[in-house]
Amino acid sequence: MEFIETALKGAFLIRQKKIEDHRGYFARAWCRQESIKHGLNPNMLQLNTAFSFRRGTVRGMHYQEKPHEEAKLVRCTRGAIYDVIIDLRPDSPTCGQWHGEELTGSNGTMLYAPEGFAHGYQTLLDDTEMCYLTSALYSPEVARGVRYDAAAFDIRWPLPVTAISEQDRKWPDNWR
């Protein structure tokens, strides 16, 4: 596995190192020991998956408050997404900044966001599926979000939004 730190402190791109032969390939998608070595939270507790019918669908920007903050490791398994994370940690030098990355079913690249980040994505193709590991169980009482189009972050989504939940439209423009 190859770990590449993004401009947001503690957030990483993780690329699989594929061992290929005539059958296809084998690669590790998660390794506790490698995660510890790179300072990532190794305690993943839940695996979530989502499927979107239409290109342009936006889901996000979600996070959980203490004591149930969650690190996330995101991978697209079918189709393509533009995956976005926002650093919401008040003591971070990159607080309020965002990072976006194209993840596809074929490139196998993953994005790791530590605790204190909001996460969301936009589907780039119809019939797209993604999955993500979290370091905390889902706790609806502390589930929060910020608007996907909040001026405070100025996220540049690659496509017009074709579908979004009513809840995601209602999140506040700011988290403070």
- Tell me: cis bond preceding 158? Omega within 30 of 0 counts: no
CATH of 2-170, one of 2.130.10.10, 2.60.120.10, 2.40.50.100, 2.40.160.40: 2.60.120.10
Q: Based on DSSP, count helices (H) and strands (E) in the chain, helices before strands.
A: 2, 13
Inform me whether the pLDDT recorded for 174 exceeds 90.
no
Active site residues: 62, 132
Structure tokens at 33: 């020991």
pLDDT tens-digit series, residues 101-146: 999 999 999 999 999 999 999 999 999 999 999 999 999 999 999 9
In angstroms, rounded to a whole number, what is the distance separating the alpha carbons of residues 15 and 134? 18
The confidence band for 176, taking pLDDT boundaries of 50, 70 and 90, is confident
* Tokens at 128, concatenated: 């797209």
